[in-house]
Structure 1
Amino acid sequence: MSQKDAAQTTIVSHDEKLEKLEGEAVQVERSWQTPAQIQHRFDTLRDLSDEQMTALNKKVLKKIDWRLMPCLTLMFLMNYLDRINVSNARLAGLQEDLNMSDTVWNAGISTFYVGYLIGQLPGNLILAKANPSKFLPIIMLAWSAATICMPAMKSGAGFCIVRFVIGLCEAPFFPGITLITSSWYNKQENPTRMAIWHAGNTISNIISGFLAAGILEHMGGIGGMKSWQWFFLIEGIASIAVAVVAFFVLPDWPHNSKCLSEEEKEMAQYRVLVSNGGVDEGVGGTWDGLKSAVADPFTWYFCGMHFALITAQSFKDFFPSILKTFGFDKMTTYLVQAPPYAIAYMAACGLAWTSGRFQESCYHIVVPIIAAAAGCAMLISTMNVGARYFGIILLISGTYSGLNLQLSWETTLVPAPKSKKAALIAIANCISQTSHWFSPYFFPRSQEPFYRLGGGLIIAGCVLTCLLSGGIVLRAKKLNKKLDEAEGYTAHSGNERGWRYVY
């Protein structure tokens, strides 16, 4: 019997044991292979030495990093800038110019996320079968075109409609780049790479403040347009330029990327298979993946956790308005938005690196979230500007680090098949966006300067995040114990321990 046939026989026996232990599909999927067995599956890799495999792995990783990370970071920067631009435009008179009450304004913020909710699941399921180099730039062109239409708004109804369309077009993007990142990188690399493109989030908040200072303060009246109209127009045009570049730079999936040689494609697939324990990402159809995700309790744990983290970040749509209560002038209010996000990005990268290095997620999320809750408490309990600004730094750093690590954690615990992972990411992101339906109503201007109603909502999100993190750890430990029993593994058995759930 060949080595490959022997490996397959071992896997079948392993699957039968798992089926007897627990009938859940999530358990049956966890058949595993050693790196040597996975290497034997690829024609161009099976005869390479360990030194050759290491050198090829470094070459492929470097090529992926340079093709994928800058492109995704820049795309996400424009995506997030498009989401938050209305916050600064509000300070420049958008709400007053369109004669919108606070209720209509909040409705417009909420309708964006209604479109976001509708488009996420179908969008990510389509992406799992499509080519990212075409699909992602196309949806970016769509939301950019809608952004360019925003200067033509004349009423609150128009504001709500345009924001709904933008949300619908943007919907597949965030879960999509989460999916593509987890499909190219292994579980050690994934947290750091997600933190890198999350820089787009951080940079967009920094840039938004500087753009607001430059455009909203100096371009009003040029060409007969108000400053906020120029704000949307310039951002939309810049986003279109990025989308065009992405058509030529963004790679597809590891098995069909045109920027890699055949040997490099197989190494890219090998790297992820080793991380997944040998489970092929391509196994199963779209609906199989959806049904498997719905049946997996991890999906609902991460849905709740993502919802809690988005709720804890509910301040972001009102960040300039919150900073305005510090007593700064308008120009200073625009500019002081940058430092907290720069600090948050450095914290996120550091935590992501140590999380991947030590393969630990729970405490890397819970500790910063506790710090975020403490920061929120400072923000809503004192008028001391220094204390409130420090609280803002803790709040942003904790919640943004938590969300980044939650995304990498869910794709590590449910790494394959790709259709299931795509469904899990989209479902979790869909449900989390429902927070935006009600959270804007917790930040009315009547709550200035403390916004204590919103602060209470943020703290509740932080507490729920901690509770669900503990629940995920308990389930992972339970499943690891059953996998140990199925394989006859103990500390003294001498058996090789296979793929396990990381927590």
Structure 2
Amino acid sequence: MLSTPQSHAGGEWGHHTVGSKEVETDNSRPDLDENWHRASRSIVRKLDWTLMPIICVLYLFNYLDRTSIAQAKLNTLEKDLNLSGAEYNTAVSILNVGYMIMQIPSNMLLTRVQPNPYIPAWVLIWSVVSACTALVTNFGQLVAVRALLGFVEAPFFPGIYYLLSCWYTRKELGLRMAILYSGLVLATAFAGLIAAGIFANFDQSRGIAGWRWLYIIIGSINFLLAICSFALIPNFPESNSGSQRWLLTEEERRVALQRMLLDRVDQESDRSLLWGFRHAVTDYRTWVFVLLMFITNHVAYGFNYFYPSIVSGLRLGSQTITLVCTAPPFILAAGLSIILSWSSDRYNERALHIATPMGVAIVGFVISVATVNGPARYVASYFYVTGCFAANGIVYAWAAGVLNQTPEKRAIATSIVNVIAQLGNIASPYMFRDQDQPRYLLAMILLIVFAAISGLTCLLLKFDLWRANKKIEQSCQDGATPRLFPT
């Protein structure tokens, strides 16, 4: 609730209640105030140079921890632990169970605590759990460690996703989500290069297998990065703690809060967690994004844990050459993801920026099904890797921009979307059956279907939001600028 404004240099300031705190906000027209815009640009620049680098690197290692099992499979993991193909698939899938269980409770809690030290503390914990993978000696221990790893890694991505949506406006968020998401894509690329180097130089060093060294080294580096993150991760804009305490001026902290208040599609007051949960689950667009994320995740991650095995089946060379060859498609995907998201923000368009790459992915899957030629299938993998991964960051930004009526609803709705999407990650490894190696025809055909559904869902949602925006524009009075849904 805004009180009667009082005089303040640079504008008029009132009080707004955020959660349990009353904070000052500028009630004047910031679009007419150059000082306000200068402060806004400064906030974005400072966050881009502090928050974004640390969370991108942490997300890279977050994903390395999860997917290193794909590279370990090419080493002696299955032999050392006496794993069958089905047991490996279960070890891959089980991580997502813990990941699903923890995400929604964590984000609900995050709306009532501060991101710093909450998020860095979880990073420290998952670093230790990941390193403990090097100690497992059988299938049961591997499943237990990976289930726990999913549980302790779960707070990071939805928490950071929510934190970014509290600092960046909808027009700014798409590119930042793509940059964050590029950490995931680069992790997949670098995983092969890192594994190649470790397996070539450390395998059986001190009697320890290369895949065990892989987890030890990644976990140790991750732990050091977690310590650094305590200094670089901010709390929410209304707070005076976290990195904003030393990073932002008092005026910038005020502008940071007002930027987000002005960016909401409608200006509802902050409500309880129960209110946010109820409105998140009853908004049909939450479930449209659930379908969209389920499908795109299913497509993108379905082949990810098996991509090293797919490339190995092409017989391009030794194990080292195979691991090196897994990197280029993902590096290309990371670059295209940033370019596409910049374009998506620039033109405030989401649906076509997702549907088009999914069409490219379909071309790649079709080529993989249609030919047995190794080099042709490797080239096809560039199409489906870049097509699938280039679009996912935009999906996250789109969901945050549409489901943002209050912080509580945004936190819970985006968690619901991310959590249920993990069902695709649990099911997808079982599409890649041992008897289908190395072409995995059944999986490729299913991925064609999922990619097509994803593109169609985007176009239908675009039409739905276009209609909603027309109603918003018609209801606007006194020439006010409408706050529209991104389409």
**TM-score normalised by the chain length of structure 2:** 0.91
CA distance in 2, matches of 1:229, 1:268: 45
Check 1:40–1:136 CA distance in 2 against 1; reply closer, same or farther (3 A cut): closer
Match of 1:371 in 2: 360
Please state how far the C-alpha of 1:171 moved relative to its aligned partner. 1.1
One-letter amino acid matched to 2:485: Y
Any runs of at least 4 consecutive aligned residues in structure 1 with deviations exceeding 6 A, and if so which?
3-6, 36-41
CA distance in 2, matches of 1:248, 1:161: 32
Please state how far the C-alpha of 1:47 moved relative to its aligned partner. 9.3
CA distance in 2, matches of 1:40, 1:113: 43
Q: Aligned runs of 1:406-425 on 2, under 5 Å?
A: 406-425=395-414
Among residues 114, 123, 128, which one is paired with 1:131 in the alignment? Answer: 114
Please state how far the C-alpha of 1:206 moved relative to its aligned partner. 2.4
Please state how far the C-alpha of 1:283 moved relative to its aligned partner. 0.7
8 Å CA contact 2:314–2:375 kept in 1: the answer is no
Q: Deviations over 1:50-93 (max 9, x none)?
A: 22122212211111111211011111011011111000001001
Match of 1:141 in 2: 124
Match of 1:83 in 2: 66
CA distance in 1, matches of 2:232, 2:4: 40
Match of 2:57 in 1: 74
CA distance in 1, matches of 2:191, 2:265: 42
One-letter amino acid matched to 1:498: P
Match of 2:138 in 1: 155
Please state how far the C-alpha of 1:420 moved relative to its aligned partner. 0.7
Among residues 194, 202, 205, which one is paired with 1:211 in the alignment? Answer: 194
8 Å CA contact 1:117–1:433 kept in 2: the answer is yes
Q: Aligned runs of 1:278-317 on 2, under 5 Å?
A: 279=267, 283-313=270-300, 314-317=302-305
CA distance in 1, matches of 2:27, 2:327: 47
CA distance in 2, matches of 1:480, 1:45: 25
Match of 1:499 in 2: 483
Partner SS, residue 404 of structure 2:
coil
8 Å CA contact 2:403–2:414 kept in 1: the answer is no
One-letter amino acid matched to 2:226: A
Q: Are residues 1:274 and 2:262 paired?
A: yes
One-letter amino acid matched to 2:296: L
Partner SS, residue 223 of structure 1:
coil
Match of 2:346 in 1: 357
Please state how far the C-alpha of 1:4 moved relative to its aligned partner. 7.2
Q: Percent identity?
A: 29
Check 1:270–1:202 CA distance in 2 against 1; reply closer, same or farther (3 A cut): same
Please state how far the C-alpha of 1:384 moved relative to its aligned partner. 2.6
Partner SS, residue 266 of structure 1:
helix
Among residues 111, 116, 121, which one is paired with 2:99 in the alignment? Answer: 116
8 Å CA contact 2:13–2:27 kept in 1: the answer is no
CA distance in 1, matches of 2:278, 2:465: 21
CA distance in 2, matches of 1:354, 1:303: 24
Q: Aligned runs of 1:95-110 on 2, under 5 Å?
A: 95-110=78-93
Structure 2 residues without counterparts, runs of 5 or longer = 6-10, 17-23
Partner SS, residue 330 of structure 2:
helix
8 Å CA contact 1:40–1:46 kept in 2: the answer is no
Check 1:310–1:37 CA distance in 2 against 1; reply closer, same or farther (3 A cut): farther
CA distance in 2, matches of 1:160, 1:278: 45
Task: Please give the root-mean-square deviation of Cα atoms over the aligned residues, in Å.
Answer: 2.2
Please state how far the C-alpha of 1:434 moved relative to its aligned partner. 0.8
Match of 2:8 in 1: none
One-letter amino acid matched to 1:53: W
Q: Deviations over 1:259-283 (max 9, x none)?
A: 3222111111122222225636x71
Partner SS, residue 303 of structure 2:
helix
| Alignment coverage as a number of residue pairs | 466
Structure 1 residues without counterparts, runs of 5 or longer = 7-35, 489-493
8 Å CA contact 1:39–1:270 kept in 2: the answer is no
Match of 1:55 in 2: 38
CA distance in 2, matches of 1:442, 1:426: 26
Match of 1:19 in 2: none
**TM-score normalised by the chain length of structure 1:** 0.88
Q: Deviations over 1:390-444 (max 9, x none)?
A: 2211111111122111100011112231111111111111111111222111112
8 Å CA contact 1:351–1:364 kept in 2: the answer is yes
Please state how far the C-alpha of 1:468 moved relative to its aligned partner. 1.6
